[in-house]
Amino acid sequence: MTASRGWIFNKRLLLRLAALAVLIALYYYIVDWAPLQTGLRRLVAVVLGLFGRGSSATVSAGTPSLLMADGRVYAFTENCAYVALYLLAAPFIWRFGRPIASNLIRQAAFAAGLLALDIVRLTAAILLNQGGAPWKRVHDIPDLAIHIAVMALAVLSALRADDPEAAQRSKTTRPSTIV
Do residues 46 and 11 share a domain?
no
Do residues 11 and 89 share a domain?
yes
Do residues 158 and 127 share a domain?
yes
Within its chain, how far is the Cα of 91 from the centroid?
Answer: 12
Better-scored residue on pLDDT, 17 or 139:
139
Do residues 15 and 41 share a domain?
no
Q: How many domains does the chain have?
A: 2
**Structural domain boundaries enclosing 60:** 33-78
pLDDT 10s digits, 78-99? 788 888 888 889 889 988 888 9
Do residues 105 and 124 share a domain?
yes
Model confidence at 160, in pLDDT bands (50, 70, 90)?
A: confident
Do residues 142 and 71 share a domain?
no
Q: Which amino acid is at 13?
A: L
Do residues 90 and 147 share a domain?
yes
Model confidence at 12, in pLDDT bands (50, 70, 90)?
A: confident
Question: Rounded mean pLDDT of 129-151?
Answer: 94
| 124 found inside a domain | yes
| 176 found inside a domain | no
CA dihedral 113, 37, 90, 102 (to 10 degrees): 60
Q: Give CA separation, 39 vs 63, 95, 119, in Å.
A: 12, 29, 11
Q: Give CA separation, 20 vs 13, 41, 90, 99, 130, in Å.
A: 10, 27, 8, 20, 37
pLDDT value of position 63: 52
**Separation between Cα atoms, residue 2 and residue 51, nearest integer Å:** 57
